A and B are shown apart, each in its own frame.
Chain A
Amino acid sequence: MSVVIETPNSPRSKKQANWEKYGWIYMRVSGAALVVLILVHLISNLVVPEGGIKAINFAFVAGKWADPFWQWWDLAMLWLAMIHGTNGMRTIVNDYTEREGVRKTLVFTLWGVCAALVTLGTLVIFTFDPCPIGASLEALPSFCPAQ
């Protein structure tokens, strides 16, 4: 079966919730938020620390996530960016696939990957242990007690 596109100059034939409209609004609202979230993310991780990208390691991440502010900041980025990116990929799949089966398979895969990574990332942020037992002391942040 080929993809069916509604005629743009006639009213919508479906009377259910207009998910395409909500998606359209989501891209603009989340996009505006992500500009701020990601610019601050890049500045605080790559520009502000002495050494830039060379300063990033486990201790750096542990130091950031010791503050709930950065936990919630990164959580917001994770959810907004993953859904924004997946919905953008869905738009591209809808544009370029010609067979309905292929389109459905790709869109299903995209949302599956999105759900898996959002779940993984959320668990990592909130179950994170900055001082895991058994880790070598030089890899840990300075606030960890000696083991």
Chain B
Amino acid sequence: MPTMPAGTLYRGKVGMWSWVLHRITGVAIFFFLLVHVLDTALVRVAPEAYNVVIATYQTPLIGVSELGLVAAILYHGFNGIRIALIDFWSKGAKYQNVMFWVVVGAAFVLFAAFAPRHLMHVFG
């Protein structure tokens, strides 16, 4: 009788979903980076031009979206360290599952510290 696949580092469960999330957050951060380099380049055009564009980052809609960006950066960065540890640490593959939850926990703690303060600034 066939049994369910146990799940490996890359198929099913944490190994696969951490990879999917790493890709999605990576693409999102990449496109923000393109916009962010361009908006910062406006400081070379005129102070007023930069101030007009940066004011859109301070609106409620974009302000809330920035929480998503920060969450994506925290996850992508910490999970990237997990990937490097899987590659370079002799016990990395063995502890990849628990390391994923450490990544989620660390990202959540920093996000919880950042989010209320940021929302107070955006809506204050």
Contact = CB atoms under 8 A, between A and B. Distances in A.
Interface stretch (B1-9, B10-18, B49-57, B94-102): B49-57
B34 interface: yes
Contacts of B84: 28, 31-32
B85 to A, nearest CB: 10
Nearest to A127: B44
- Band of interface residues on B: 35 or more
Task: Label chain A's interface by main secondary structure.
Answer: helix
Interface residues of A, number: 43
Contact of B57 (A42, A47, A53, A129): A53
Contacts, number: 108
Interface in A80-132: 81-82, 85-86, 88-89, 92, 113, 117, 120-121, 123-124, 127-129, 132
Contacts of B43: 58, 61-62, 124, 128
Contact of B40 (A54, A57, A124): A124
B57 A56 contact: yes
B41 to A, nearest CB: 5
B41 A124 contact: yes
A52 B117 contact: yes
Interface of B: 23, 26-27, 29-30, 33-34, 37-38, 40-41, 43-44, 46-48, 50-51, 54, 57-58, 63, 66, 70, 73, 77-78, 80-81, 83-84, 87-88, 114, 117-118, 120-122, 124
27 contacts: A28-B80, A31-B84, A32-B84, A34-B77, A35-B81, A38-B73, A42-B70, A46-B121, A52-B117, A52-B122, A53-B58, A53-B118, A53-B121, A57-B54, A58-B43, A59-B47, A78-B37, A85-B30, A88-B27, A89-B27, A92-B27, A117-B38, A120-B38, A121-B37, A121-B41, A128-B44, A136-B47
